[in-house]
Structure 1
Amino acid sequence: MNFILIGLTLIAHFGLRLTFYNRLNSFGWPRKRIKLVEKIAFVETWMTPLIIGTIWYEPLREIVLGNGSWDELPAGLRVYSVFCLVLGGVFFVLWLTWRPIFRVQHADASRTTRTVAAGPRDVERFTRTQKSRWSAGLPGNQMLDLAIENIEIRLPRLPASLEGYRIAHLSDIHLTGHLHSAFMTDVIGHALDWKPEMFALTGDIVDVQECVGWLNEIFSPARAPDGSLFILGNHDTRVLDPTEVRREMSDAGWTDVGGRCLTHSLRQTDVSVMGNESPWFGHPSADEIASSQKTLPNGAMKICLSHSPDQFDWGRRHDIDLMMCGHTHGGQGRLPLVGPILSPSWHGSRWASGDFYRPPTTMHVSRGLGGVHLMRINCRPELSLITLRRQSST
């Protein structure tokens, strides 16, 4: 029994650090500060049990063997063990509740997936650096295996005129220079084959300055009858001037809705479209949203492009019908049944990817298309081809 308690305490210790890591990366702090805190936390995560095990090795050993007493340990260490077990247990229950297999708060949506697996010629064509070629060759790495997800989402308040409306949702492009632009060119080609009525891009477009010059070539072909809309994400702060990214995307024919609320026409039906880039840039004010509604009929549909799914409650407060998000990369890796573990979100891996509904808002979270970490395990890059359907009243 003592051995089990010590084992559970260790598991809880590491689980609480993982919980902290996920929340840390949801903050809008400067990248250098986050990386510094990450390094300190990483050292503490491993040094704390190592130091404890070294100093109190003998009493811990006797406890494991059943010959010792917990009273032989310092009071502070006993308190820390109880803290880990209690708080770790609370977070474990919450974590278990939100596992994808239980589908808690999942939306009324259906999916079919077609995978475009990268062969040797594709790897040669897409990879640009030795690191990316080496990473693409690792067993189980799906970083270049595109999942084309055809998703039908049913919205309770979808206007009849927008039944069957088609949106190609892109997210987390992450132009780092490790991959050639050909990868994204192919992705957009697959989207265009589907004939979307609108493109939506939810941030993290560029990571390095040299790739800013690629934007026009990559994104100018992505044209749709009702336009192509975009916002920025946290990684777009890594270039010298994020307004340069906005300018290049605008020059490529895309409409910047970051921090704005616009009246936009879909199939000649006026809807409200807004962009939430919080906490890194901003979101439309309540006054701006209220002002925009004055020019629209009562009950007009509201669509929000949000980089982070952490803005779900913000969307609900503002009566959003459909939110499209990214940022979390589906956790970058997913365990069978369990799903994702890592996720840079205040809610951990709860909304790492998928389709969710909390009245009145339906939220779609993409796994994204790229990443700084050239590794995806059971978590293919996702091109979301979303078809909107009216939800039955029965």
Structure 2
Amino acid sequence: MQRRTFLKAAALTTAGITAVTGLYTWRIEPYWLEFVRRDMPIRNLPPALEGKTLLQISDIHVGNRFDYQYLIDSFREAQALDPDFVVYTGDYVSYEGPEQHRQLDEVLAHTVRGKLGTVGILGNHDYGKNWSEIDVAERINEQLTAAGITVLRNARTTVADLTFLGIDDYYSPNFAPQLIMEHHDPAAPTVALCHNPDVCDLDVWNGYRGWILAGHTHGGQCKPPFLPPPLLPVENERYTAGTFDLYDGRTLYINRALGHLWPVRFNVRPEITVFRLRGEA
């Protein structure tokens, strides 16, 4: 009887733990936003930009798969930080059809903008089905521009003496990093944006030395403690989330994403990154 009672109690405990874990991964962690704070040392940073803040927001994935009021609420929290620069690193929608354009406009009515500048790039999901619908990307580009985001599609812009290089998505028909990397100024204080971190392993950087901000991985969304995430949408499985020294003067930062493809997360909280700019010693 004692053994039978023990086994029954163990089974009930296991079932309870499973239920609580499932509830947590589905209803709590996907909406438990973390503001991650990091220093960003930049070569030749103008003294006037010392201590300024740069927010990175990535992979919001507006669509039908979760209540995007969460995104609006998160944008409001980010606005309260009064950032100097804001960068968006792609995947604004989980595209299924034209309805996502209307939904995106609802979210973009609350766009987080920087006092000095707001720039962004597109991700693979912004190219619609099979990452190949150019008309979808063009419409999203128009929506972002109307919301006050300067969209860089293999282009550069300089805002308050800080240069941003924006590479269009790796999987898209418009991926052409050579259009800007062939002519970048190595002396200019610069931040590069590319959605998919696998681009960092391509021979396209032409001696660039500086920060690269990416997204795409969502940190795997679910990660067992002390183990790497089992599923990552990248070729280089080193690229999970956080800061990576690329050992050639480049530093990669991968944001864990604000939104989700599906609202399930474990040990990988959604993130908005708050960088503090400082001159490189």
Compute the TM-score of the two structures, normalised by the length of structure 1: 0.58
In the TM superposition, residue 219 of structure 1 has moved relative to its aligned partner by 2.2
Q: Which residue does 1:231 correspond to in 2?
A: 121
Is 1:362 matched with 2:247? no
CA 1:172–1:335 in 2, change beyond 3 Å: closer, same or farther? same
Q: Which residue does 1:214 correspond to in 2?
A: 103
In structure 2, C-alpha distance between the alignment counterparts of 1:290 and 1:283, rounded to whole Å: 14
In structure 2, C-alpha distance between the alignment counterparts of 1:356 and 1:275, rounded to whole Å: 19
Q: Which residue does 1:160 correspond to in 2?
A: 47
In structure 2, C-alpha distance between the alignment counterparts of 1:319 and 1:183, rounded to whole Å: 37
- CA deviation profile, 1:154-208 (whole Å, cap 9, x unmatched): 3455443332221111111111223333211111111111111111111111123
Q: Is the 8 A contact 1:274 1:304 kept in 2?
A: yes
CA 1:215–1:238 in 2, change beyond 3 Å: closer, same or farther? same
Does the residue aligned with 1:378 lie in a helix, a strand or coil? coil
CA 1:244–1:168 in 2, change beyond 3 Å: closer, same or farther? same
Letter of the 1:225 counterpart: K
Q: Is the 8 A contact 1:148 1:384 kept in 2?
A: yes
Q: Is the 8 A contact 1:259 1:277 kept in 2?
A: no
Is 1:387 matched with 2:269? no
Letter of the 2:84 counterpart: E
Compute the TM-score of the two structures, normalised by the length of structure 2: 0.79
Q: Higher relative contact order at CA 8 Å, sep ≥6: structure 1 or structure 2?
A: 2
In the TM superposition, residue 291 of structure 1 has moved relative to its aligned partner by 4.3
In the TM superposition, residue 217 of structure 1 has moved relative to its aligned partner by 3.1
Does the residue aligned with 1:334 lie in a helix, a strand or coil? coil
Q: Is the 8 A contact 1:274 1:284 kept in 2?
A: no
Q: Is the 8 A contact 1:147 1:382 kept in 2?
A: yes
In structure 2, C-alpha distance between the alignment counterparts of 1:370 and 1:287, rounded to whole Å: 30
- CA deviation profile, 1:317-339 (whole Å, cap 9, x unmatched): 34041111000010111122223
Does the residue aligned with 2:213 lie in a helix, a strand or coil? strand
Q: Is the 8 A contact 1:216 1:251 kept in 2?
A: no
Between the two proteins, what is the percent identity of the paired residues? 26
Structure 1: runs of 5 or more not aligned: 1-133
Q: Which residue does 1:331 correspond to in 2?
A: 220
CA 1:250–1:320 in 2, change beyond 3 Å: closer, same or farther? farther
CA 1:281–1:166 in 2, change beyond 3 Å: closer, same or farther? farther
Structure 2: runs of 5 or more not aligned: 1-18
Q: Which residue does 2:7 correspond to in 1?
A: none
Q: Is the 8 A contact 1:172 1:204 kept in 2?
A: yes
Q: Which residue does 1:194 correspond to in 2?
A: 81
In the TM superposition, residue 316 of structure 1 has moved relative to its aligned partner by 4.5
Q: 1:1-394 residue pairs with structure 2 within 5 A?
A: 138-141=23-26, 142-207=29-94, 208-209=96-97, 210-221=99-110, 222-238=112-128, 241-260=136-155, 262-266=156-160, 269-286=161-178, 288-291=180-183, 293=185, 299-314=187-202, 316-348=205-237, 350-358=238-246, 359-392=248-281
How many pairs align?
251
- CA deviation profile, 1:264-323 (whole Å, cap 9, x unmatched): 123xx1524323411324444435444464xxxx60022211111111234753404111
Structure whose CA Rg is larger: 1
Letter of the 2:153 counterpart: G
- CA deviation profile, 1:115-166 (whole Å, cap 9, x unmatched): xxxxxxxxxxxxxxxxxxx9x9723441111111122233455443332221
Letter of the 2:23 counterpart: L
RMSD: 2.6
Letter of the 2:37 counterpart: N
Q: Is the 8 A contact 1:176 1:372 kept in 2?
A: no
